[in-house]
Amino acid sequence: MIKANVIVKLKKDVLDPQGKALKTALSNIGFHNISQIRQGKVFDIEMDETNTDIAKKEIESICQNLLANPVIEDYDISVQKHSI
């Protein structure tokens, strides 16, 4: 079994209105030392695959086709093999 973790975030040069709203809300409740906060998505994926290279290629395709918008988002993939 393969377990993968995918983190999808807006590219650095893309405006993050949710992050800006979070920064303002945090400041309003007393957290004034936050200089920037950006919001993203995390996906935990389990696959019935034993080959980590094959799994990583499949997850890369999943990211490019569904989980991320490559025009405005970047993603990081980490893959680990687990025994059942």
Share of the chain above pLDDT 90, in %: 95
Contacts of 45 by beta carbon, 8 Å cutoff, 6+ apart? 3, 4, 5, 6, 59, 62
Which CATH number goes with the domain that contains 13? Answer: 3.30.1280.10
Domain extent at residue 41: 2-81
Predicted confidence (pLDDT) at residue 32 exceeds the cutoff of 70: yes
- Total domains present in the chain: 1
Predicted confidence (pLDDT) at residue 31 exceeds the cutoff of 90: yes
